[in-house]
Every structure is written in C-alpha cells, then in structure tokens.
C-alpha cells in the first residue's frame, strides 16, 4: 500500500485516496481505493479500479485536487511511464478515467504525482524522473487533458543544473497562483545534503527564479 493522499472541497468533507495491490490467485492487481467522510457519514473503502486494465501496475500513490464541491481530479502514474487522469463525480459516485500522457523513454517516472487546481476546469500535476528533472503536466479537467513539459532546474554558481531528489509538493494559494516545492542536490558537492527549493506559478506562467529554502 502506498501513502494515502487527502483533500477537501468544503467544511465537513474529507476524501482519502490510496493505491494498494491484491492477490487474485495468479498475480497481483493494483487498484485505487477511495474513502470519504461527509458531515459525519463514513463511506468505507470503495474500489475505484485502474485507468487502463485490471493488470495495470500503478507506481506509488495518487495525486488529488478539487476546485469545486462534488468533483475530484485524480492523477496516478504507472510503470509504463504514463500519467493518467480521472474525474470523480459525487452526484453518481463514479470515477471516470480519461486519456493518459506518456513521457519519452529518455525519462523514467520515479514516484506518484502531486496535483493542484488553480481555476475551475483547470488542474496541474507534477512528476519527478530518474534524471533529477521535474515535469509539469496540466490542462483541462476533461477528456482533452493537456500535456507534460519539463521544468528547468536551478543552477549552482558554476552554471551546473541541480538534480531534484524527490517528487514535488504543490499547493494552490487560492488566487490563481500555485507554489511548487521540492529538494535538490548540487553536483559540485556530492556529499552535501539536499536543499529545499520553491517557485511560484502565477496566472499561467512561472514568475521569478527558483528560491532556496533550507
């Protein structure tokens, strides 16, 4: 079982999602599980399936975000180097999986995504790869969901690119801005500890330079 993720679309509501595998007698299957509390009601764990097939292998946990009551945007990554997008509709209690995006074979996703929504029908999800890069995958909360683009890392005093060491955390600030944070190591100092970095995304673009936060 991967680490759970949680979100809330309003007072009295909490949604928890976690990926877990189960033995079906011949192989393991990986599923997304969902549980919520709403005004004291506990839904219990509900199986939301997998985005492609019953044998699809999920990588780590899920990223989830919400912008309005009654809807969740869910993101998972798989061992096939793809990120998949699903939308949960509370009115009928179903999660519908839409299209998926696959990174080039040059890069390999290392962990589950994180996600945030900065406008109605708009969301973004972030990934980390084995080369130490971060990826911004965003677009419309629909079947025509957008694309992934690499995020240039900060550089050290010698102009060398730092390497991100873990998946990013992102949070929507509520004013159409998103804060992205991760940790990175300096190739010029292999024995040094990773340091925290953050960058602000404002109205469709990244503003300012990466700022170090130790």
102-128 pLDDT per residue, tens: 887 788 898 889 999 887 878 888 888
pLDDT of residue 211: 56
Mean of pLDDT values over 60-75: 90
CA neighbor of 131 nearest in space, from 109, 156, 103: 109
Q: Which residue has the higher pLDDT, 202 or 80?
A: 80
Structural domains in the chain plus CATH codes: 5-151 (2.115.10.20)
Tell me the two tokens of residue 188.
Answer: 């010029």
% of the chain surpassing 90 pLDDT? 24
Q: What does the alpha-carbon distance between residue 165 and residue 187 come to, in Å, rounded to a whole number?
A: 12
pLDDT of residue 7: 94
Q: Give strand pairing partners of 150.
A: 135
- Residue 214's pLDDT band, with cuts at 50, 70 and 90, is very low
Write b or e for each residue in 25-59: b if 16 or more Cβ atoms lie within 10 A of its Cβ, otherwise e: eeeebbbbbbbbeeeeeeeeeeebbbbeeeebebb
Mean of pLDDT values over 142-146: 61
Give yes or no for residue 210 having a pLDDT over 70: no
- Residue 13's pLDDT band, with cuts at 50, 70 and 90, is very high
What ranges make up the beta strands (E) of the chain?
A: 5-7, 13-23, 28-38, 41-42, 46-47, 58-65, 71-78, 82-89, 94-102, 114-119, 122-128, 134-140, 147-151, 163-164, 169-172, 177-185, 195-202, 205-213
Q: Is 63 exposed, middle or buried (0-12, 13-18, 19+ CB in 10 A)?
A: buried
- Residue 16's pLDDT band, with cuts at 50, 70 and 90, is very high
CA neighbor of 61 nearest in space, from 21, 117, 10: 21
pLDDT of residue 158: 84
């Amino acid at each position: 079982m991967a680490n759970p993720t949680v979100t809330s679309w309003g007072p009295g509501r909490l949604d928890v999602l976690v990926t877990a595998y189960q033995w079906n007698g011949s192989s393991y299957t990986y599923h997304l599980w969902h549980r919520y509390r709403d005004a004291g009601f506990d839904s219990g764990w509900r199986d939301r399936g997998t985005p492609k097939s019953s044998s699809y292998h999920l990588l780590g946990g899920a990223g989830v975000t919400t912008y309005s009551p009654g809807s969740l945007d869910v993101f998972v990554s798989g061992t096939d180097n793809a990120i998949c997008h699903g939308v949960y509709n509370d009115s009928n209690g179903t999660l519908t999986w839409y299209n998926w995006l696959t990174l080039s074979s040059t890069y390999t996703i290392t962990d589950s995504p994180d996600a945030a929504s900065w406008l109605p029908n708009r969301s973004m999800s972030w990934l980390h790869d084995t080369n130490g890069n971060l990826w911004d995958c965003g677009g419309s909360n629909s079947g025509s969901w957008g694309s992934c683009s690499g995020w240039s890392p900060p550089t050290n005093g010698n102009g060398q690119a730092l390497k991100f060491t873990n998946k990013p955390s992102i949070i929507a600030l509520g004013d159409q801005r998103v804060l992205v944070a991760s940790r990175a190591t300096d190739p010029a100092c292999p024995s040094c500890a990773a340091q925290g970095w953050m960058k602000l995304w404002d109205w469709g673009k990244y503003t300012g330079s990466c700022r170090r936060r130790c």
